Structure 1
């Protein structure tokens, strides 16, 4: 297991869980679970900015007076590492790529996630990261976004477990690897990192413009 590195400086207050318009954990047949977050709108952020962010997540940016990988600046406390495990068919971080993600929710070693997710969707409406076994989806994280009056409307949905009854043993294994308390920690983490985009993206966009 990786060691959680020292925390980096947090330049902006991270959003509290109570800031979200909705958080919900659902339990479905055969041990499948779903976590839903309807985030407070992201002021000053556009869908195009979000697409650019995820398409160039392997890049760097200035944060706290130093140049950091964007992924580490995104959540200075919980994020540990990101790399492009496999490029998209057309190159880079696009649909078909595989992201290797390492993070520890709430900075707790027992809540460490180290996995490779396939990017099955990445466009101006959102991103979908998936893990499959024998072609069957067993973990899916989908972020969808759209322009709104108060800023970009952003919804996160994490599905853990397959729908088929035959995959119930796999779902039980996933429940041991991602228990309910870790799922709750992920919800808080996701609210923090999504909210931080409100601080990072307008500045990053202005610099590149």
Structure 2
């Protein structure tokens, strides 16, 4: 009887050890693993249509610079950022309150001219053939085509619907190879990339993006800190 009890106790102890040493199931592992914060999870960059680059015609560049020369006098001028745009009306989106504008989409260009002596930028809007050239007096001159691509990027990332977004600030920038966003290793190529620093938002929050001029490169700046490459001509 004593032997039977001892044997039963030994079997029971062995079974207990076997249960304790079982490998946990996948569901048990998942339940005990800490979940990474949303901000730490990898995100997939939205797929945007490829930007089609078009060279600014020499004739358009010459006409825009000549117009600025007439407005500010003799100066050393250089073409900076430019892009093909579709304007909302015949006044190129720059019509005054008492001005009658053709209500039709108008193909054209946005052109930046830089006074290399003062480093001051002037933005112009033109028709496609340059027969109409108007200097912009807007608070910012972010190209509409680039604005739309930034909105699309934010919407694709799940931040907000594109029709709820608006531009808060838009500043022309000359970026280094990291687009002004400090990398973890601190190494950036010191090149000059014409682009923009753009803050967009909805009624709840805002986001800062660094881009090139056309929107082929759009990077979210999660910290708001940036480094601009000094401009030199």
- Interval containing the TM-score (normalised by the shorter chain): under 0.3
Name the one with the larger strand percent: 1
Q: TM-score, normalised by structure 1?
A: 0.22
Instruction: Name whichever structure is richer in helix by fraction.
Output: 1
